[in-house]
Amino acid sequence: MLRVRDVATHFRVHPATVYRWIHQGFIPAYRNGQPFKPGDGATGALRVPESVLNSTVPTEEAA
């Protein structure tokens, strides 16, 4: 599992962009081993599966 910062570095975007992709459902994320659901009120660091690095970058047109 990767940190949001690591994913941002790989795709050469700001970490806020990765958080936006997560909230929009473009890339999966996990918190404390559970799938992330926006608005669930849970706290803790988000982690992203390494398989995301093999996917294409979401574009603004897709957003």
Q: What is the reported pLDDT for 63?
A: 47
Total count of domains within the chain: 1
| pLDDT score of 34 | 78
CB 29 within 8 A of CB 36: yes
Contact partners, residue 58, CB within 8 Å, separation at least 6: 21, 24, 26, 27
- Which pLDDT score, from 0 to 100, does residue 12 have? 93
In a domain, 37, yes or no: yes
On whether residue 62 sits in a domain, the answer given is: no
pLDDT value at residue 32: 76
Q: What is the pLDDT of residue 13?
A: 94
Give the model confidence (pLDDT) of 20-57 as tens digits. Answer: 999 898 999 998 777 887 777 767 788 999 998 887 77
- Whether 16 maps to a domain, the answer reads yes
Domain-located, residue 61: no
Is 8 a member of any domain? yes
- The answer to the question of residue 34 being in a domain is yes
Q: Which residues is 31 bridged to in the sheet?
A: 34, 46
Does residue 60 lie within any of the structural domains? no
Q: Which residue segment(s) compose the domain that 6 sits in?
A: 2-54
